[in-house]
């Protein structure tokens, strides 16, 4: 173990490009509007948030050796993330998520090119085994291929390193099924939990059953987030915790889940109770909601501590 503890995030780094016309969205025409480029990727959002919360963070990720990729690496370094093990790949484009909104801000079309994340493969994970083994905790998103995820989870588990998993989307959540027994903390949203449990979650009772099922599959702690309905959290041998969502000045809920799991990890390393970890998640999500960008730059450890006081 290194003297200076660090959290390792394994996952995607994207450039998100969003377009919104001033007027109605019409096909077959060039529409006046705005185009915004913002760094994204669940892994990257979480790495940035953990760095803001005061942690030393390393990241295993991949970008293309293009303008976006070099910009994302340099921005990440400026934010204090150790990207010395990240790949900058020739001949592969940086992963990008391109979406077109209507003039009310609802996404109508989206295309994701994740070829760079596909390169976070088993071989790269194995080469970085020591970085995984030396971490205080590992956080995995499901952008890498399934066999790379399984390899990382096994290394962390064998080394006794707590493993946090964000399934990131219903489509990618199935990659997590094989690593549930190695998972210390799982943070699915409703759709991801439906994929993992194989049944719909229509009521709070369904959500509680889903948490219990996931614990039965070997996960040590589950935080099932339900948008504004909040969270159901569970751990083996403990009563379930239910907390409602909490918003003070909501602007945009995208990235709430990333803030949530980052704060749970922060609270976990402090040795907090299940209830206090869930409170930290809800508090961080409420701060995340107050900005348009995926990560709110004011989400620091002090700001989180203040906001937690407002969560029952």
Binding site for ligand ATP (CB under 6 A): 189, 225-228, 230-231, 245-247, 253-258, 260, 282, 285
> Does 257 participate in binding Mg ion (rule CB under 5 A)?
yes
> Among 82, 60, 68, 66, which Cα is nearest to 12's?
60
Q: Look at residue 260 and give the partner it binds from ligand ATP, Mg ion, none, a contact being a CB closer than 5 to 8 Å depending on partner kind.
A: ligand ATP
Q: Look at residue 125 and give the partner it binds from ligand ATP, Mg ion, none, a contact being a CB closer than 5 to 8 Å depending on partner kind.
A: none
Give the shortest CB-168-to-Mg ion separation in angstroms.
Answer: 6
**Taking a C-beta distance cutoff of 8 angstroms, is the pair 287, 304 a contact?**
yes
Give the shortest CB-260-to-ligand ATP separation in angstroms.
Answer: 5
Query: Could you tell me how far CA 98 lies from the centroid of its own chain?
Result: 19
What are the angstrom distances between the C-alpha of 223 and each of 34, 99, 158, 202, 284? 36, 29, 24, 17, 14
Residue 40 is given by DSSP the state: E
Q: Look at residue 226 and give the partner it binds from Mg ion, ligand ATP, none, a contact being a CB closer than 5 to 8 Å depending on partner kind.
A: ligand ATP
Task: Give me the phi and psi of 67, to 5 degrees please.
Answer: -60, -45
> Does 12 participate in binding Mg ion (rule CB under 5 A)?
no
Q: Give the separation between CA 165 and CA 254, rounded to whole angstroms.
A: 18
Q: Look at residue 222 and give the partner it binds from Mg ion, ligand ATP, none, a contact being a CB closer than 5 to 8 Å depending on partner kind.
A: none
Task: Give me the phi and psi of 93, to 5 degrees please.
Answer: -75, 150
Q: Give the separation between CA 120 and CA 166, rounded to whole angstroms.
A: 16
Q: Give the separation between CA 8 and CA 133, rounded to whole angstroms.
A: 10
Give the shortest CB-286-to-ligand ATP separation in angstroms.
Answer: 6
Task: Give me the phi and psi of 145, to 5 degrees please.
Answer: -60, 155
Binding-site string for Mg ion from residue 213 to residue 252, where x marks contact by CB under 5 A and - marks none: ----------------------------------------
Which CB atom, from 66 or from 166, has the smaller least distance to Mg ion?
A: 166
> Which single residue brings its beta carbon nearest to Mg ion?
257
Binding-site string for Mg ion from residue 97 to residue 136, where x marks contact by CB under 5 A and - marks none: ----------------------------------------
Q: Is 14 helix (H, G, I), strand (E, B) or coil?
A: strand
Q: Which residue has the tokens 């918003």?
A: 247
Give the shortest CB-97-to-ligand ATP separation in angstroms.
Answer: 12
Give the shortest CB-118-to-ligand ATP separation in angstroms.
Answer: 21
Read off the tokens for 84: 């010395």
Which CB atom, from 144 or from 255, has the smaller least distance to ligand ATP?
A: 255
Q: Name the segment binding Mg ion (CB under 5 A); options: 122-130, 176-184, 257-265, 268-276.
A: 257-265
> Among 272, 135, 291, 309, which Cα is nearest to 282's?
309
> End-to-end alpha-carbon separation of the chain, Å?
37
Which CB atom, from 43 or from 257, has the smaller least distance to ligand ATP?
A: 257
Q: Look at residue 210 and give the partner it binds from ligand ATP, Mg ion, none, a contact being a CB closer than 5 to 8 Å depending on partner kind.
A: none
> Does 255 participate in binding Mg ion (rule CB under 5 A)?
no
The secondary element (H helix, E strand) that includes residue 239 is: none
Q: Look at residue 173 and give the partner it binds from ligand ATP, Mg ion, none, a contact being a CB closer than 5 to 8 Å depending on partner kind.
A: none
Which CB atom, from 124 or from 223, has the smaller least distance to ligand ATP?
A: 223
> Among 101, 110, 56, 102, which Cα is nearest to 83's?
56
> Does 64 participate in binding Mg ion (rule CB under 5 A)?
no
Give the pairing type, strands 57-60 and 7-10.
parallel
Give the shortest CB-170-to-Mg ion separation in angstroms.
Answer: 10
Q: Note the residues at the interface with Mg ion (CB under 5 A).
A: 257
């Amino acid at each position: 173990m290194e003297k200076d503890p660090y959290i390792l995030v394994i996952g995607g780094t994207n450039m998100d490009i969003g377009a919104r016309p001033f007027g109605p969205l019409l096909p077959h025409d060039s529409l006046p509007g705005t185009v915004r480029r913002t760094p994204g990727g669940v892994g990257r959002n979480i790495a940035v948030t953990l760095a803001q919360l005061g942690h030393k963070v390393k990241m295993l990720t991949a970008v293309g050796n293009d303008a976006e990729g070099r910009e994302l690496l340099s921005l990440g370094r400026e934010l204090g993330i150790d990207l010395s093990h990240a790949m900058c790949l020739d001949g592969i484009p940086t992963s990008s998520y391109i979406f077109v909104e209507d003039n009310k801000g609802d996404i109508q079309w989206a295309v994701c090119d994740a070829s760079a994340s596909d390169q976070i493969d088993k071989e790269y994970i194995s080469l970085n085994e020591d970085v995984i083994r030396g971490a205080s905790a590992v956080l995995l998103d499901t952008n890498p291929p399934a066999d790379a995820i399984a390899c990382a989870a096994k290394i962390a588990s064998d080394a006794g390193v707590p493993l946090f998993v964000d399934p990131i989307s219903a489509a990618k959540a199935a990659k997590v099924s094989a690593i549930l027994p190695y998972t210390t903390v799982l943070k699915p949203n409703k759709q991801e939990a439906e994929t993992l449990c194989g049944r719909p979650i229509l009521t709070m009772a369904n959500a509680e059953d889903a948490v219990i099922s996931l614990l039965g599959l070997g996960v040590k702690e589950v935080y099932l987030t339900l948008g504004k309905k909040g969270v159901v959290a569970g751990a083996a041998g403990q009563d379930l915790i239910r907390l409602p969502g909490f918003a003070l000045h909501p602007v945009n809920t995208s990235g709430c889940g990333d803030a949530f799991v980052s704060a749970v990890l922060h609270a976990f390393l402090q040795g907090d109770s299940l209830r206090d970890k869930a409170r930290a998640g809800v508090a961080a999500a409420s701060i995340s909601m107050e900005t348009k960008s995926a990560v709110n730059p004011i989400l620091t450890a002090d700001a989180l501590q203040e906001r937690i006081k407002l969560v029952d």
